[in-house]
Amino acid sequence: MRQIRTKVLIAGGGPVGLTVAMDLAWRGIQVVVLESRAPGEPPSVKCNHVSARTMEIFRRLGVVEAVRNSGLPADYPNDCAFRITTTGVELSRIPIPCRTDRYTATGGPDTWWPTPEPPHRINQIYLEPVLFAHAQSMPGVTILNRTQLTGFEQNESGVIATAADLNGGEDLTISADYLIGADGAHSMVRRAIGASLTGDAVLEHRQSTYFRSPELLKATPTKPAWANTSLNPRRSANMFAVDGKETWLMHNYMKPGETFDGVDRDWCIRTVLGVGPSFPIEIITKEDWTARRMIANRFRERRVFLCGDAAHIWVPNAGYGMNAGIADSMNLSWMLAGVLKGWASPAILDCYESERMPITEQVSHYAMNTSSALAKQRGVVPDNIEAPGPEGDAVRARVGQDAYDINVGQFCCGGLNFGSFYEGSPIIAYDGEAAPRYDIYNFTPSTVPGCRTPHIWLGEGVSLYDAMGPDYTLLRFDPSAEVGDLLAAAEIRGVPMALLDIPVKEPVYPEKLVLSRPDQHVAWRGNAAPKDPLGLIDRIRGGGSRMA
């Protein structure tokens, strides 16, 4: 049996597994990724959106340009259109810039966000190959395709895993310091550590179809849209443009009592599109799925961690399926790197579960609230929505406005991107001020410890995040603020900390000093260095609990 040694073993080579592999390698940590699919084997088409926060991560990892330049054609509108049928009357539309205008557009519901990287609409079949190629090119990343984790044991010094070569070759024994289970909703790693999913096992069913229709764009009377929702009394559904030319993914919402096989798929598709039986449609794959809200009762068992769908499954409204999983992995990655490099106490790893579990609850409830509102609207589409004249016009205006109001939050979810904060974490130095509350759409940038470090531009095209180091960064807005003792304390404990003076004439943060974590959340702030700098350093490295 072939033997391999690595620092971190990752089960699952989807977007979550690949991203955490890239981030760990970027931080100098050797990783091995196990993926059962062959290189280039296409993933599911279910994911369609990369959030702004994830795009910020891709910017840090040097892959954002390749991601941004993939997917829909550059001039294809990223709008969300609501129509009676796809080829019928348009009710309303949420404007979202196409790729060409994404960095320069103003005036839309998501163009005001303080970020260097707005969101990107791209299907997973285009996203994943970009991430795979980038990860494969990075020193320190080894991807073993057609290889499946079959078991593992752990002890005080590491994890010993076994894996099968699915092509019939020699099986593997892999020794690692840590194991990350990014192996999806049916996670073998989750089962092996005895974690269980709790919540709502069945919320609704979606008869989803990936299909080709070369004539559909020409048959649509208004300009194209990335997301297309049809609302009529016969059949309502949501549909996404995949290639911006001829391929589409339709989610047909099943009514109570209906089953996947009990509803004529072809009839549903044609009813949603508003086309006749001779209109050319080719079904590529059936992607039926059941919506759930299930969260693991724990995300960790000693040296083994869960990320993404292995830890939580919910209706991916607001695009927070894959994106929530990537957020998990980025919270874990820097802590693991700190422990493996020796500057962080192993106790810091307890914070992964204590920080991410509350966020998971928040995100899942926002997704569920949106799902409930959408289900209610679909269930009460007025029978007279297609009536001619003033009566029908009034109904269509009302339904269109309701569709806009219900959906603008999930498709332009600034709050979920930037508003979440870590509350009650033992490695954050709180100062008594509560973090600003947020909803799915609205948020307030804040330096309150636990919040995302607010973004600012340092110059033309230069983001604050571009200038920050990979580890802790002490932002100083007043060059006269003395920070020598704090930097010395960090050096004593071996905590990597860079000082970044912000060259602005007017302060853009309320405080003179803000300490940003490696994941770009605020760890501490003040107008002067802490009176007990070693106490602060011990807190942020997971080695102490004294307040600074």
**146-203, pLDDT tens digit by residue?**
999 999 999 999 999 999 999 999 999 999 999 999 999 899 999 999 999 887 666 6
Residues making up the chain, counted from first to last: 548
Looking at per-residue pLDDT, the higher value among 340 and 417 belongs to 340
Distance, CA of 266 to CA of 78 (rounded, Å): 26
Mean pLDDT of 124-136: 96
DSSP secondary-structure letter at 99? G
Looking at per-residue pLDDT, the higher value among 55 and 357 belongs to 55
Distance, CA of 539 to CA of 428 (rounded, Å): 7
3-state SS of 394-440?
HHHHHHHHHHHHHHHHHHCCHHHHHCCECCCCCCCCCCCCCCCCCCC
Distance, CA of 474 to CA of 482 (rounded, Å): 12
Among 95, 48, 41, CA closest to 70: 48
Looking at per-residue pLDDT, the higher value among 265 and 366 belongs to 265
Distance, CA of 69 to CA of 460 (rounded, Å): 21
Residues above pLDDT 90, as percent of the chain: 77
Mean pLDDT of 474-499: 96
CA distances from 80 to 95, 241, 245 (A): 7, 10, 16
Amino acid 313: pLDDT: 82
Instruction: Categorise residue 363: left if φ over 0, alpha if ψ from -120 to 50, beta otherwise.
Output: alpha
Of 140-149, 365-374, 451-460, the poorest mean pLDDT is in 365-374
Amino acid 371: pLDDT: 54
Question: Which of 166-175, 353-362, 536-545 has the largest mean confidence?
Answer: 166-175
Residues above pLDDT 70, as percent of the chain: 93
pLDDT of 541 over the 60 cut: yes
Amino acid 503: pLDDT: 82
Q: How confident is the model at residue 548 (pLDDT cuts 50, 70, 90)?
A: very low
Q: How confident is the model at residue 372 (pLDDT cuts 50, 70, 90)?
A: low
Q: Is 188 exposed, middle or buried (0-12, 13-18, 19+ CB in 10 A)?
A: middle
- Taking only the tens place, the pLDDT of each residue in 1-13 is 799 999 999 999 9
pTM: 0.94
pLDDT of 276 over the 90 cut: yes
Handedness of CA 5, 6, 7, 12 (dihedral sign): negative
Looking at per-residue pLDDT, the higher value among 204 and 247 belongs to 247
Distance, CA of 320 to CA of 401 (rounded, Å): 24
Amino acid 206: pLDDT: 82
DSSP one-letter string for 478-496: -TTS--HHHHHHHHHHT--
Q: How confident is the model at residue 373 (pLDDT cuts 50, 70, 90)?
A: low
pLDDT of 368 over the 60 cut: no
Distance, CA of 100 to CA of 137 (rounded, Å): 27
Q: How confident is the model at residue 256 (pLDDT cuts 50, 70, 90)?
A: confident
CA distances from 35 to 43, 107, 170, 212, 393 (A): 11, 42, 16, 28, 53
Among 422, 186, 151, 419, CA closest to 296: 186
Among 80, 366, 346, 32, CA closest to 231: 80
End-to-end, the C-alpha distance of the chain in Å comes to 52
- Taking only the tens place, the pLDDT of each residue in 420-432 is 899 999 999 999 9
Domains annotated on the chain, with CATH: 2-71+123-197+295-365 (3.50.50.60), 422-540 (3.40.30.120)
